[in-house]
């Protein structure tokens, strides 16, 4: 047994690595800047957690979602690790002060890129040795990625300010263009790349064509009732998520709820925890649901509408079958689907009149603080995505209406291009899996029976249907205590 395997067993009780983990961890321990792409469920968190126990200093993890941070923190705490915290909006001022005042006592610290942009936070971090700078969901760096976050574009300078610690950039899906953006933004001149297939051979890929939304609703109801759960139904809008959840609760025996970005933080985390702990059989949600879900036994993912991009599709179907057991992805298509996604993308466009108003608000605000500017614009009725993008471009030097309009038009056209590529991919009569992998510049070599590859190759849903009685659901005896645990209200500063 190697020393690395001994450390794996000592810290996590595991005897072997998943595919790619050992190579990535070895690169990190050699203090090489590393870009790693592992499929969803491939064990990305171990790639920085194990090195964290071996290396001296703080492991700083940049994460895009509050729920994802909280989930990772709770997992480490459940293993007995007390030197971990998430610096986010769920901490009150006293808890936040405690974490920053005792920052040298932590081994793992999670935060968003927005939190890192605080000069006070950055200065506190400069006082401790950062052994590893981790960017989780690194595709968010790319301006053309499917989940662009402007604050991710500042991570290169932040890293420089912290003494240029080694970088580990992690993602589950990325095209060559996205990987190039990650390299450029972080300033990784000689990064080692460990890129593994996005393919999930244990997930059957099915596309079903229906006449209209009414037939979609009927088919989702039928599938949710028949298929072995738990499962996820992805919806294009918040309204659809709520309506489908109500429909499934009324027409099936499955306990269903909805989840989207318009809900209160506490409600979202509660629903997520109910799903993780088997209090719910099915979640109807927008793409806001997923990255923070540590649940290995999700058996089906249904798309009520096609996502906008192949990257988003691979991320979302990757929620299923993380335990390696057979699972199924079913995408429903009907005439008019493409037009709805086009309309959603077009909402990011702004008229000259709207742009003039946004520019006037930014100029009159008297601040360059992005968070304050965003809050002001949102209070004026500007959508959050539009506000983030406009502020990001303005602070990059695009300070007049013509420059902003040119950039926004370019972004919309780029998104429409990616959407049309994915739509064309779904129209193909050949193997769906082969077409998806080709999009990510991969070739496909079948690993199992071709009859359970995809709907184009022929398939049988019978093995994925529920057998016998539904398994008993676990119960929390006291939801108040559970929420206190989730929100970290027990104590933000207990060390022993």
User: Is the pLDDT assigned to residue 359 strictly greater than 70?
Assistant: yes
Query: Does residue 371 register a pLDDT over 80?
Result: no
Q: Among candidates 168, 159, 163, which has minimal Cα distance to 134?
A: 168
pLDDT of 483 higher than 60: no
Give the closest residue to 44 by CA, choosing from 1, 80, 75, 86.
75
Structure tokens at 384: 């959050």
**Residue 470 pLDDT level (bands cut at 50, 70, 90):** low
Cα separation values, 194 from 152, 167, 434, Å: 21, 13, 22
pLDDT computed for residue 491 by the predictor:
42
Band (pLDDT 50/70/90 cuts) for residue 277 is confident
Per-residue pLDDT at 203 exceeds 90: yes
pLDDT for residue 288: 79
* Residue range 121-144, pLDDT digits in tens: 898 999 899 999 999 888 888 865
pLDDT of residue 484: 58
Regarding predicted confidence, which is higher, 401 or 480?
401
Domains of the chain: 3-196 (3.40.50.300), 203-335+428-472 (3.40.50.300), 342-419 (no CATH)
Cα separation, 342 vs 225, whole angstroms: 31
Place of tokens 């645990």: 485
pTM score, whole prediction: 0.82
Tokens at residue 37, please?
């792409």
């Amino acid at each position: 047994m190697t020393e690395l395997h001994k450390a794996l067993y000592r810290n996590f009780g595991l005897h072997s690595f998943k595919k790619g983990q050992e190579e990535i961890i070895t690169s990190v321990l050699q203090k090489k800047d590393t870009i790693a792409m592992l499929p969803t469920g491939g064990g990305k968190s171990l790639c920085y957690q194990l090195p964290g126990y071996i290396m001296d200093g703080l492991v700083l993890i940049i994460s895009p979602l509050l729920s994802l941070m909280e989930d990772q923190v709770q997992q480490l705490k459940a293993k007995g690790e007390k030197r971990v915290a998430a610096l986010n909006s769920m901490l009150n001022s006293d808890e936040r002060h405690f974490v920053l005042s005792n920052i040298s006592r932590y081994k793992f610290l999670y935060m968003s890129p927005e939190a890192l942009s605080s000069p006070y936070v950055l200065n506190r971090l400069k006082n401790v040795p950062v052994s590893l700078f981790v960017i989780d969901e690194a595709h968010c760096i790319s301006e053309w990625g499917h989940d662009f976050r402007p604050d991710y574009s500042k991570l290169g300078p932040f890293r420089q300010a912290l003494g240029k610690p080694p970088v580990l950039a992690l993602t589950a899906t990325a095209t060559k263009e996205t990987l190039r953006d990650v390299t450029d933004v972080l300033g990784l001149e000689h990064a080692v790349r460990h890129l593994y297939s996005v393919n999930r051979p244990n997930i059957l890929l099915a596309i079903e064509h229906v006449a209209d939304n009414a037939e979609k609703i009927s088919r989702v109801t039928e599938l949710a009732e028949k298929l072995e759960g738990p499962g996820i139904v992805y919806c294009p809008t918040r309204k659809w998520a709520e309506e489908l959840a109500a429909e499934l609760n009324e027409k099936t025996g499955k306990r269903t709820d909805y989840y989207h970005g318009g809900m209160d933080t506490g409600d979202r985390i509660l629903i997520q925890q109910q799903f993780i702990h088997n209090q719910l059989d099915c979640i109807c949600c927008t793409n806001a649901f997923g990255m923070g879900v540590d649940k290995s036994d999700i058996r089906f993912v249904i798309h009520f509408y096609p996502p906008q991009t192949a990257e988003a599709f691979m991320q979302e179907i990757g929620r299923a079958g993380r335990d390696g057991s057979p699972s199924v992805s079913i995408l429903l298509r009907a005439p008019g689907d493409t037009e709805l996604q086009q309309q959603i993308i077009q909402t990011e466009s702004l008229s000259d009149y709207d742009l003039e108003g946004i520019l006037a608000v930014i100029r009159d605000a008297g601040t360059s603080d992005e968070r304050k500017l965003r809050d002001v614009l949102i209070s004026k009725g500007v959508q959050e995505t539009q506000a983030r993008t406009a502020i990001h471009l303005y602070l990059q030097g695009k300070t007049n209406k013509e420059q902003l309009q040119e950039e926004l038009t370019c972004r919309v056209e780029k998104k429409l291009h990616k959407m049309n590529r994915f739509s064309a991919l779904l129209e193909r009569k050949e193997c769906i899996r082969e077409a998806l992998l080709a999009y990510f510049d991969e070739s496909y070599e079948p690993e199992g029976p071709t009859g359970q590859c995809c709907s184009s190759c022929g398939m049988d849903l019978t093995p994925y249907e529920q057998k016998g009685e539904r398994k008993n659901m676990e119960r929390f005896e006291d939801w108040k205590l559970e929420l206190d645990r989730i929100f970290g209200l027990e104590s933000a500063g207990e060390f022993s």
